[in-house]
Structure 1
Amino acid sequence: MRFLITLVILLATAIGLAVGARFNPGNVVFFYPPYRIDLSLNLFIVLVVLLFVLVYAIMNAIRSTQQMPQRVAAYRREKREREGNRALRDALKALFEGRFGHAEKAATRAGESPENAGLSALIGARAAHRMSQSARRDLWLSKVQEPSLKTARLMTAIELSTDGHEPESALEAVRELNSSGTRHIHALRLALKANQRGKNWPEVLRLVRLLDKRNALHPALSQRLRELAYEDLLTTQAHDAESIRRVWATIPTEDRVQPYVAVRAAMAFNARGLHDDARMVVEKALSVEWDDRLVRAYGESAAAEGSPALLSQIERCEEWAQKHPTDPELALTLGTLCLRQKLWGKAQRHLEQALYEAADSEIVRQAHLKLAQLHEALNQPEEAASHYRQCALATML
């Protein structure tokens, strides 16, 4: 329909021009002595139009000739960009397919395009890392110079260095990332992993708390990381009595009553002869949550024989026994404390109760050992020998 309308308009225009030219009596005279040229007005108009078209064509040809180098350069640039984008897509496809050698080669081709140089270098770094080529990986990362890709480069460096068990490089990238103010969740997770590999446990604890506030860590993983951190801070590192107290003072109150923290703190205090501090730690933790590990640590924190503190411990354990009458660990601890205080009857009763209630072979072994020591102290060699045999059998199980 549009074609028909256009054809009708052209025909009408042609007819109008023909009719107008037929009835146009005008003339145009060019006079240059001694020459004279007479033209009809219609011919003159046609010649002017033809001259205009010719001049326009010549000017357009000159302009096109002048623009030819820029057009050739633009064509070549567009061709390189198309080839670079194709190579970038090939590199990504090969990387996701696990063909890391092809991915690195495609990244090299894609890097010939300036627009794709940074992203292709990141792809090449990941491909080289998967092939365990750390030197080539670092070379690829050094090619990422665009300011807009700084965060991407640092995140990639942290992830790859951590995965490659290079905590020093990972922590250096973490420090640079922190200086740039980046604090999103994935960055915190990578920083956590890097600090864990680098055994920077104070920073691990800080990052775990940050991620816990954002619900970005599984509770089991969070608890395990805290256990590892507190184990290093409290039991692995060398501390004297005052330094271990300073470390304990830096731990948040809500963490101090956690069983795994209190047990390790009690172990650290006991190792340095600070049994009173160990008992206070365990008592506060047990007042919040009952845990057999804490009860065992309480027994290991026993005061000196015949001291008021030891009697106080026995009284505290007897109070707990009223609330937990069938707890074998508590019975074993109470029997051990009574044995230390030479309360033979109470000691025997509680140790035998521990044997009766125990399902753990270690509790059975300890109970037989303590009963053997009790009978030795009472000059009952046959009973002591019997319990020693039972202790040996429990050890073999």
Structure 2
Amino acid sequence: MKRIYWLLLILAVVAAVASLVLFGLPLAEHKGYVLIAFQGFRYESSLWAFVALVLVVWLLVYLVRLSLRLLVTSGGLLNPWSSLHNRRRARVASQQGFLDLAEGRWARALRHLKQAADHSPQPLSYYLGAARAAHQLGQYADSDDLLEQALNRQPQAELAIALQHAELQLARGQTAEALETLQVMRSRHPHHHLVLRQLQQLYLQSEDWSALLGLLPDLRKEKILGNAELSELERQAWRGRLLQAGQQEEGDAQAALAVLQQAWQAMPAAQHKQPELVAVYAEQLRQLGAEAEAEELLRHFLKQHYDTALVRLYGLLRGSDLGRQLQAAEGWLKQHPDDAGLLLTLGRLCLHSQLWGKAQDYLESSLTFQRHPETCTELARLQAQLGDLARSNSLYQEGLSLLDSRLCTPALPVTT
């Protein structure tokens, strides 16, 4: 705009000079005449005198306006409660408030940000910062009140305010209130990634595995998590769901078993191939007294997916047919002759079937590949039963020593 004004001024000067050159001489010979008559008023003068009068009047008006503007400005500078000073104070308060918030000076941050919010047409960020500062000071009621004021001033920012409210509620341990806040936001913004992310963290923290499993399709659809993280979260959720299912209906094993089996059947087929989940399910079955079902499950799984951890668990089970169970384990030994865990399992199965000689051979072979506390304990029990107490005591001591080393427990001092 300034360039346009300067351009117009230059054009006016050029036009004036041209007019003076073209018409200056004729006008110098004829001064002209101006007559203004209105009722009783009469004004007569030459043209140039009238032009000079107009310029003087215009200059006076300009000077009066300039004086009034300077007077108002100086009054604002002198008046501490003027809008100029209010704007300056709000600007300083906002800058200092955020600095105090970042540096952990909560009381000063609260005071400055509240002051900035009172004088700002867009106070959302100031209210959110002030609410966080009040929360850090333990003034939870004031924090909620500030968020309410933010919602009243900027209702279109409801989602942003609710997200911070839920975050603060979780930090206070108000899990139920945070869940209610996030569920309301999910109903209004079902695809918002921050709402889904906070819900996922809340369900994970509260171990609400059923709700987390229900949230997984939305997390996958909206690509909230990467594939690896999503797979791990799904596996963790199903693991927790199986553990919870086996612990329900305390005192009623049959009811807990039915819930556990229902949870396993509801699990996707791809998760049935996860050794960790198979181990959790089999262990829960064992604890609920369904060892035969657990044995059958592991036997069929291990035929296709051999896993050392599952093999160790298999040795703790008593199936409906001990001979078939032992035969299945011996079949795996052909492909895994050096697996100490499998040899331990075979030793245990032989103990279940009272095959003492074979049990001793398998357990001795397991120790040649790995000195494990469980193997030492099983062999020590067998040696005690066979009457070799010296070897039994030696194996018990070795097992305890191995267990101490695993637990990083310092050896007890020897007293004399």
The TM-score with structure 1 as length reference comes to 0.77
CA distance in 2, matches of 1:266, 1:293: 12
- The question of whether the paired residues in 2 share the 8 Å contact of 1:275 and 1:302 is answered with yes
How large is the RMSD of aligned CA atoms in angstroms?
4.1
Residue 280 of structure 1 deviates from its aligned partner by: 3.6
How far apart are the structure 1 equivalents of 2:20 and 2:41?
32
Whether the aligned pair in 1 keeps the contact of 2:159 and 2:185 (CA below 8 Å) is yes
Which residue of structure 2 aligns with residue 233 of structure 1? 244
Q: Pairwise mapping of residues 210-359 of structure 1 onto structure 2 (< 5 A)?
A: 211=219, 214=223, 216=225, 219=229, 222=233, 225-226=236-237, 229-230=240-241, 232-238=243-249, 240-287=256-303, 289-304=305-320, 309-359=321-371
Aligned-partner Cα distance in 1 for 2:140–2:43: 89
SS in 1 for 2:315: helix
Aligned residue number for residue 210 of structure 2: 202
1:143 and 2:149 correspond: yes
Partner of 2:380: 368
- Report deviation, 1:265: 0.8
SS in 2 for 1:302: coil
- CA deviations on 1:244-299 (whole Å, 9 max, x unpaired) are 11121122222222222111111211122222321243245435543332122222
- TM-fit CA distance, 1:317: 0.8
Q: Distance in 2 between matches of 1:20 and 1:225?
A: 100
Cα distance in 2 for residues equivalent to 1:288 and 1:234: 27
Structure 1 runs not aligned, ≥5 long: none
Residues 107-138 of structure 1: CA deviation (Å, up to 9, x unaligned): 11112025243321211122233344433333
1:84 and 1:116 in contact (8 A); partners too: no
Q: 2:161 aligns with which of 141, 153, 160?
A: 153
In 2: Cα distance, 1:302 partner to 1:135 partner: 59
Contact 1:167 1:195 in 2 (8 A): no
Opposite residue 329 of structure 2, the aligned amino acid is: C
Rounded Cα–Cα distance in structure 2 between residues aligned with 1:340 and 1:270: 16
The change in CA–CA distance for 1:159 and 1:4 in structure 2 (over 3 A counts) is closer
- Once residues 31 and 298 of structure 1 are traced to their aligned partners in structure 2, the CA distance between those partners, rounded to angstroms, is 121
Q: Retained in 2: the 8 A contact 1:158–1:194?
A: no
Q: For the Cα contact (< 8 Å) 2:242–2:264, is it kept in 1?
A: no
Show the 5 A alignment for 1:155-174. 155-174=163-182
When residues 179 and 93 of structure 1 are mapped into structure 2, their CA distance, relative to the original with a 3 A threshold, is same
TM superposition shift of 1:175: 0.6
2:94 to 66, 88, 93: 88
Sequence identity of aligned pairs in percent? 23
Quote how far apart the aligned CAs of 1:385 are.
Answer: 5.7
Paired residues of 2:344 and 2:366 also in contact (CA < 8 A): yes
Question: Relative to 1, partners in 2 of residues 1:100 and 1:206: Cα closer, same or farther, differing over 3 Å?
Answer: same
Q: Which residue of 1 aligns with 2:201?
A: 193
Answer yes or no: is the 8 Å Cα contact 1:196–1:204 preserved in 2. yes
AA paired with 1:126?
A: R
Deviation (angstroms), 1:149: 1.6
The one-letter code of the counterpart of 1:129 is H
Q: 1:109 to 1:31 in 2, by over 3 A?
A: closer
Partner Cα distance (1:135, 1:26) in 2: 82
CA distance in 2, matches of 1:266, 1:29: 114
Alpha-carbon contact 2:124-2:150 (below 8 Å) kept: yes
SS in 1 for 2:114: helix
**Contact 2:241–2:263 (8 Å) recurs in 1:** no
Cα distance change on mapping 1:136 and 1:293 into 2, 3 Å? farther
Gaps of 5+ in 2: 1-5, 250-254, 405-416
Distance 1:280 1:235 in 2: 18
* Cα 1:211/1:158, change in 2 over 3 Å: same
Q: Distance in 1 between matches of 2:400 and 2:260?
A: 34
- Structure 1 215/18 Cα, relative in aligned 2: closer, same or farther at 3 Å? same
Deviation by residue 1:293-321 (Cα, 9 ceiling, x = unmatched): 212222222225xxxx2222112111211
- Separation in 1, partners of 2:43, 2:109: 78
2:121 alignment partner, SS class: helix
The alignment covers a number of residue pairs equal to: 373
The aligned runs of 1:38-117 (5 Å cut-off) are: 39=44, 42=47, 46=51, 49=54, 80-81=86-87, 83-117=89-123
Alpha-carbon distance, 1:9 to partner: 5.5
Going from structure 1 to structure 2, the CA distance change for 1:367 and 1:204 (only over 3 Å counts) comes to farther
Distance 1:152-1:22 versus aligned 2 partners, 3 A rule: same
After TM superposition, the score normalised by the length of structure 2 is: 0.74
TM-superposed CA distance for 1:208, in Å, is: 5.5
